[in-house]
């Protein structure tokens, strides 16, 4: 008598390694972890571009170049005076240079207005008033619009007066240089040097 029995064939095999009533479950591999390096490199690149762009934006706003300001406009005024005149000059931002001359009847004032790349030299006006009775010339700098960090403006004065002239010079930001003047002087600057010399 033959005792051999045919193994029962399973109709469904839910697992790939299912056999003879045993199975090995299939376990999905863990997802691959993405490298953080591409994001890190991208962040560094964006930061570099922001720094470079910000620096260019800043220098363009200030208007600095090799010469200084980006835009300039110069005007000159001449006045006939009697001996021992008085010059009153009130500047806002910028230097004042005054030198004495051998002429006792001539005053020459050269005003150079400067502005940054985004500023406008026309935002500054210079007024000149001569009083013949007191033998006084008064110069004032006025702003049409207030300057900002990106629209900086200023005026630089170069003045020639008789050596005996009296001076009253004021600037908020800028230096004052006086050469060859023997008259009475009042020099005021809030942030820069004051220099006076008797040599012409």
Strands (E) in the chain, as ranges, are 71-80, 86-93, 96-101, 106-115, 124-131, 136-143, 153-162, 166-173, 176-179, 185-189, 194-197
Q: Would you call 19 helix, strand, or coil by DSSP?
A: strand
Please state the pTM of the whole predicted model.
0.63
User: How many of the other CB atoms lie within 10 Å of CB of 124?
Assistant: 24
User: How many of the other CB atoms lie within 10 Å of CB of 93?
Assistant: 19
The pLDDT value given to residue 45:
84
The pLDDT value given to residue 154:
87
The pLDDT value given to residue 62:
44
The pLDDT value given to residue 198:
59
The pLDDT value given to residue 196:
65
The pLDDT value given to residue 33:
67
| Residue 177 to residues 15, 50, 75, 114, Cα–Cα distance (Å) | 97, 42, 20, 19
Q: Would you call 130 helix, strand, or coil by DSSP?
A: strand
The pLDDT value given to residue 35:
67
The residues pairing with 107 across neighbouring beta strands, listed in sequence order, are: 79
Q: Would you call 188 helix, strand, or coil by DSSP?
A: strand
Walk along the chain (200 residues) and give the pLDDT tens digit of each residue: 555 555 545 455 554 544 455 555 666 666 666 666 777 788 888 888 888 766 655 554 444 443 356 788 999 999 999 999 999 999 988 899 999 999 989 999 999 998 877 777 888 899 999 999 999 999 999 987 665 555 678 899 999 999 999 999 999 888 999 999 999 999 998 876 667 665 55
């Amino acid at each position: 008598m033959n005792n051999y029995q045919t193994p029962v064939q399973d109709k469904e095999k839910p697992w790939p390694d299912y056999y003879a009533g045993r199975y090995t479950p299939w376990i999905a591999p863990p997802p691959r972890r993405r490298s953080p390096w591409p994001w890190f490199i991208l962040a560094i690149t964006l930061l570099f571009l922001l720094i470079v762009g910000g620096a260019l934006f800043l220098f363009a706003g200030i208007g600095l170049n090799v010469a200084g300001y980006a835009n300039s406009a110069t005007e000159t005024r001449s006045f006939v005076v009697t001996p021992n005149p008085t010059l009153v000059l009130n500047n806002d931002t910028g230097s004042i240079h005054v030198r004495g001359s051998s002429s006792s009847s001539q005053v020459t004032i050269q005003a150079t207005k400067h502005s940054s790349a985004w500023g406008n030299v026309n935002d500054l006006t210079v007024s000149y008033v001569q009083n013949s009775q007191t033998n006084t010339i008064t110069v004032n700098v006025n702003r049409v619009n207030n300057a900002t960090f990106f629209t900086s403006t200023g005026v630089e004065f170069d003045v020639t007066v008789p050596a005996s002239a009296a001076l009253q010079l004021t600037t908020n930001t800028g230096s004052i240089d006086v050469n060859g003047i023997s008259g009475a002087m009042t020099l005021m600057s809030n942030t820069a040097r004051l220099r006076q010399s008797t040599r012409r």
